[in-house]
Amino acid sequence: MNQRQIGPFQIEGQLGVGGMGVVYLATYNETGKKVALKVLSPGIATDPRLIRRFEREIQILKKMDHPNIVKYYGGGTSGGQPWYAMEYIDGGSLRDVLKKKKVLSWEQAIQVGRQLCAALEHAHYAGIVHRDLKPANLFLNRKGRLKLGDFGIARDTEATALTAAGKTVGTYAYMAPEQIHGSKPISGKTDLYATGCLLMEILTGHTPFEADNPAEMLIQHVDSDARLVNEMPNITGRPTCCPAPLERLIERLLEKDPDERPYDALAVHTELTEMLEKLKSPESQAAAAAASAGGIDPVTGLPEETQKKKAKKKKKKKGEHVEFYEQTWFLGICLAAVLGLGVWLLMPPGEAKVFEQAEAAWKSTDETVQRDGRTKHMLPYLDRFPEGPHRADVQRWADEVMASRLEAQTRRMEISRRAARSQYETDFVTALAAEDDPERNVLVAVELFHALQLRLEKDHAAAVAADPTLKNYPDDDVTNSQAANEPRYWQILTERHLNALRTRVI
C-alpha cells in the first residue's frame, strides 16, 4: 500500500496512534476536503475478530448524527488494510487544552458537560454506551464546539497497548465500578460516572482517584469515596472555585451504585443548563459579589458584615430608641410587599413568553434542547392556550420533535433487534433498510415510503372521522409506545425521507 495514498485520500500526516490503528490527517482527492482517516494496523488487519470490531465501529458511527459527535464519511479497504474516514476536528482535544491551561473555569466545565451529555443522550438513545470517555476522546473545533469521538472498538486489547505506552492509569482513571467488578450491567450510567471524573479533572487538574499502578486505582474506584471538588488540591496551586450545585452534581455522578446516579444524560444536561442560568442570574452574581467582598460566615452562611449587624442588634438594651425601619408596623408593610412580589414572580409566564421559549427550543440545533423544550414549553403552551395565536406552529414543532425521537428509537430497535411496537414501525424499518442499502435502487425505497404514506393518510383520516377533535387538538400526552401507533408522527417521518430521496433521484 502506498504510504502517501490510502483509497481516494492523500495522507498529510499522522494525528495519533491507538491500540489498534493509526489516525492520519488526509485530503479527499476529488474535493480537497480534510478528513481524519483511521486505518487498522497491519499486524492485526488479518484478525477476523478485530476486523469485525472495526466494522462494528463503522456501523455505530453510521447511526450517529449529532452536532456533538464526530461525523462518519465512508470506509473501505486498501492494500488489505481496512480504513474509514471521519470528520477532522481542527481544534485538538480536551486533553491538549488541559495540558496547556491545567484547569478551566466552572462556567467552561458546565459548557463541556452540557455538550458531552447532549452527545451521550443521542448515543444512548441509539443503544450505544461509549465506555471510554476521557479528555483524549473529546475533540474541540475552533469555535469551541465539543465532538465526541473514538467509540472504543479495541476495548479488549486496549489495556495491553496502553500498558506498553505507560498510560494505563490514565485510561483507568475514568472507569466506573461496574466496569471493574461486573456486578451490574454496563449502561448509560457508566458514561455518567466517567463524566463526573472528567468534570472534576477540568476543575482541579486531578481525576477523583490517582495511583501509582492500575490495580491500586481500580481498588479506589470500587472502595474509596471521592473527595469533594472544593477539597481537592488544585494543580495550579490556586484554590478550586466550584459552585455548590455543581459540586453536588459531581458527587452524584460519582456514586458507586449506578442506581444512585442521575437518571440519564438528558437529566444531567437539563440540570447543568438550569444551573448555568441560575448561577449567571443577577441575584446569584450579587450574592457572589457580597460573599467575595465580605466573606461568608461558616456557621450562618451570611456575609460577615450582615452577621456583625445581627450581633449588634442583640446587644441593644430594652427601652433604647428603635429606628422606624426596625419597628413592627414598618416590617409588616415590607413583609406584605415581599409576599406580593413573591406571588407575582410565581405566576406562570404569559402566552407570548411561553411561545418565545418554545420557539427558541425549536430553533436550537441541539436535539436534547428540543426534547426538553417540547416537555417544558411546547406541551404547556398547547395545554394552557388552546386558542392561542401560535397554536398551529407550536403543535407542528411538538409533533416534529416527537417524530425525531420516534425515529431515534426505531434506529435503536434495529441495533438491539427489539420487536417493533406497531405495523407502522415495521414498515418504516423496511423502507429505511432499502434507503440505507447502497446495492438497491433508490426507487425501491421511494415506493416503500410512498406506500406507507398512503396508508398513514388513510388511517389518520379514519381517526379524525371517528374523533373530529383530533384534527385541531391531537393528544400530545402520549407514551413512547403510544406514539409508535400514532399515524401523524410516521407521516412526518415518511415525508422527510421521501423529500430526501426525491432529491437523490433528481
pLDDT tens per residue, range 289-299: 444 444 433 33
DSSP element (H, E) containing 305? helix 304-314
CATH code for position 144:
1.10.510.10
Task: Determine contact, residues 68/147, Cβ cutoff 8 Å.
Answer: yes
Grid cell in block for residue 350: 404569559
Please confirm, yes or no, whether 132 is among the known catalytic residues. Answer: yes
Q: What CATH number corresponds to the domain at position 10?
A: 3.30.200.20
Q: How many CB atoms lie within 10 A of CB 383?
A: 10
- Same structural domain, 156 and 244: yes
Query: Using CA atoms, how far apart are residues 256 and 26, in angstroms rounded to an integer?
Result: 42
Residue 10 CB contacts under 8 Å (≥ 6 apart), including other chains: 4, 26, 27, 29
Cell numbers of 92, please? 485538538
- Coil/strand/helix, residue 203: helix
| 116 & 265 share domain | yes
- What is the pLDDT, as a whole number, of residue 162? 33
Q: Are residues 72 and 126 in the same domain?
A: no
- In this structure, is residue 41 part of a structural domain? yes
At position 227, the amino acid (one-letter code) is R
Q: Taking 80 as the threshold, does the pLDDT of residue 501 lie above it?
A: yes
Torsion of CA 465, 469, 471, 477, to 10 degrees: -120
What pLDDT, on the 0 to 100 scale, is given for residue 365?
A: 82
Average pLDDT, integer, range 323-329? 55
What single-letter amino acid sits at 286? A
- 329 in a structural domain: no
Least trusted range by pLDDT, from 8-17, 37-46, 414-423: 414-423
Range of the domain at 468: 419-505
Mean pLDDT of the 144-151 span: 88
Answer yes or no: is pLDDT of 177 > 70: yes
Instruction: Tell whether 73 and 107 lie within a shared domain.
Output: no
HSE, side-chain direction, 13 A CA sphere, residue 350: 3
Same domain? 128 vs 110: yes
Both 77 and 100 in one domain: the answer is: no
The pTM for the full model equals 0.57
Neighbouring residues of 158: CB distance < 8 A, sequence distance ≥ 6: 18, 19, 20, 132, 152, 171
Whether 344 contacts 353, CB under 8 Å:
no
Question: Are 16 and 102 in a shared domain?
Answer: no
Q: What are 143's three cell numbers?
A: 469555535
Of these residues, 90, 132, 297, 477, which one is catalytic? 132
pLDDT at 372: 83
How far is it, in rounded angstroms, from Cα 93 to Cα 250? Answer: 22
CA angle, 447 then 453 then 458, to 5°: 130
Kindly state whether residue 389 falls inside one of the protein's structural domains.
no
pLDDT bracket for residue 265 (50, 70, 90): very high
Residues 173 and 36 in one domain: no
**Is 311 among the domain residues?**
no
Q: Give the chain's mean pLDDT.
A: 78
- Residue 160 and residue 72 share a domain: no
**Which amino acid makes up residue 97?**
V
Residue 322's pLDDT band (cuts 50, 70, 90): low
Residue 454 located in a structural domain: yes
What's the pLDDT tens digit per position in 107-130? 999 999 999 999 999 998 888 889
Residue 429, helix vs strand vs coil: helix
What is the pLDDT, as a whole number, of residue 91? 87
Give pLDDT, residue 38.
92
Identify the residue with better confidence: 258 or 341.
Answer: 258
Asked if residues 40 and 51 have their Cβ atoms less than 8 Å apart, the reply is yes
Q: Are residues 103 and 18 in the same domain?
A: no
- Name the domain boundary from 259, 279, 299: 279
Whether 344 is in a domain gets the answer no
Task: Assign 300 a pLDDT band (cuts: 50, 70, 90).
Answer: very low
- For residue 109, being part of any structural domain is answered with yes
**Residue that is last in its domain, among 87, 115, 139:** 87
Domain-terminating residue out of 60, 87, 114? 87
Residue 163: predicted pLDDT: 34
The pLDDT score that the predictor gives to residue 471 is 58
The reported pLDDT for the residue numbered 341 is 53
Tally of domains in the chain: 3
Please give the average per-residue pLDDT across 180-207, as a whole number: 90
In a domain, 364, yes or no: no
Average pLDDT over residues 220-233: 77
Q: Mark whether 72 and 100 lie in a shared domain.
A: no
Cα gap 355→344, rounded to integer Å: 20
The percentage of residues in the chain with a pLDDT greater than 90, rounded to a whole number, is: 25
453 & 468 share domain: yes
Provide the pLDDT for residue 465. Answer: 80
Nearest to 59 by CA among 145, 140, 133, 153: 153
Report d(CA 400, CA 374) in Å as an integer.
10
**pLDDT at residue 202 above 90?**
yes
Q: Residue 333: pLDDT above 80?
A: no
pLDDT-derived band at 3, boundaries 50, 70, 90: low
Per-residue pLDDT at 348:
62
